[in-house]
Amino acid sequence: MHLTDIPFSVTHWSDVPATEHPGERGVATWRTRQFGAVRVRMVEYSAGYVADHWCHKGHVLLVLSGQLETGLQDGRTFTLRPGDSYQVADGAEAHRSGTREGATLFIVD
């Protein structure tokens, strides 16, 4: 990632409009800022959320609250708790997440 042409700014996430993205089950609520080619999101997954697709986009993801279950298309699974993160490159390994209890994530991609 190469960050250019981004002046210093502060984001008050509660002021950023929310958009809802239904999953296979549950809903993901995104608050999104775009800085050139870099997207930064605060994402809340409802309890019982399961993504409706295998994602091929690269991310740096940090779990802020709740518990996240992430599976890779090759069958591996990972449980992430608050303070845990994952990193994956564009097109590297297809992944899909869900949560039983809900989770709040900070994602840069």
What's residue 4's pLDDT?
A: 85
Task: Domain of residue 83: give its range.
Answer: 34-108
52 contacts 104 by C-beta, under 8 angstroms: no
Question: Strand 27-35 and strand 85-88: pairing?
Answer: unpaired
Question: Strand 59-66 and strand 38-45: pairing?
Answer: unpaired
In a domain, 83, yes or no: yes
In a domain, 59, yes or no: yes
Q: What is the pLDDT of residues 4-26, one digit of tens each?
A: 888 899 999 999 999 999 999 99
Q: What is residue 70's three-state secondary structure?
A: strand
**Structural domain count of the chain:** 1
Q: What is residue 108's three-state secondary structure?
A: strand
Q: What is the pLDDT along the chain (109 residues), one digit of tens a residue?
A: 678 888 899 999 999 999 999 999 999 999 999 998 999 999 999 999 999 999 999 999 999 999 999 999 999 999 999 999 999 999 999 999 999 999 999 999 9
Which CATH number does the domain housing residue 83 bear?
Answer: 2.60.120.10
107 contacts 59 by C-beta, under 8 angstroms: yes
Number of neighbours of residue 61 by Cβ within 10 angstroms: 21
